[in-house]
């Protein structure tokens, strides 16, 4: 199957690798089919490309790379949505976004840890979970080949 992405160009993908978000992602509820891509030389950042809107690509990362470890509890409804048979099939990703720092004129990458993406890797079904008890986000600032992690405001 061929898809188009404004970021990644034309790609050939296996239809069995499509991740379905039955409810979309908040703010993009009409986008339900995505493909996860990675860059060979960058083990940190991945791209979640909408298959229905070539202009919609999210940058995502594994929170474990930043020593963020979730202890998540899923409701019965969330488990049903994910068609979850095995908890080991869960992948957790955080959405990232670029933010211009007006004071220092340095672009930073920020990720909210309050609303991770939860994906059943076996059945490729996902949703975004809003966590009420997490009060901080991370900020990633790239300096050459290093990335500093600090708490966001």
Mean per-residue pLDDT for 131-137?
Answer: 64
Q: Determine the pLDDT at residue 142.
A: 57
Is 68 or 24 the better-scoring residue by pLDDT?
A: 24
For 98-113, what is the mean pLDDT?
Answer: 71
Banded pLDDT at 5 (limits 50, 70, 90): very high
Nearest to 149 by CA among 24, 38, 12, 44: 44
Please state, in angstroms and rounded to a whole number, the distance separating the CA atoms of residues 56 and 30.
Answer: 12
CB 109 within 8 A of CB 96: yes
Distance, in Å, from the CA atom of 61 to the CA atom of 9, rounded to the nearest integer, reads 21
Contact 120, 92 (CB under 8 A): no
- pLDDT tens-digit profile of 57-75? 999 999 988 778 888 889 9
Q: What is the pLDDT of residues 107-127, one digit of tens each?
A: 677 777 889 999 999 999 999
């Amino acid at each position: 199957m061929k898809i188009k992405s404004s970021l990644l160009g034309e790609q050939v993908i296996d239809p069995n690798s499509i991740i379905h978000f039955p409810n979309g992602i908040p703010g993009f509820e009409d986008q339900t089919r995505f493909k996860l891509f990675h860059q060979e030389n960058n083990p940190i950042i991945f791209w979640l490309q909408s298959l229905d809107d070539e202009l919609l690509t999210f940058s995502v990362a594994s929170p474990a790379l930043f020593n963020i470890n979730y202890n998540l509890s899923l409701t019965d409804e969330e488990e049903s949505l994910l068609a979850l048979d095995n908890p080991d099939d869960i992948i957790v990703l955080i959405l990232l976004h670029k933010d211009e720092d007006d004071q220092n004129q340095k672009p930073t990458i920020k990720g909210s840890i309050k609303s991770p993406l939860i994906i059943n890797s076996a059945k490729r079904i996902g949703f975004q979970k809003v966590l009420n008890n997490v009060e901080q986000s991370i900020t990633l600032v790239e300096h050459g080949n290093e990335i500093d992690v600090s708490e966001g405001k």
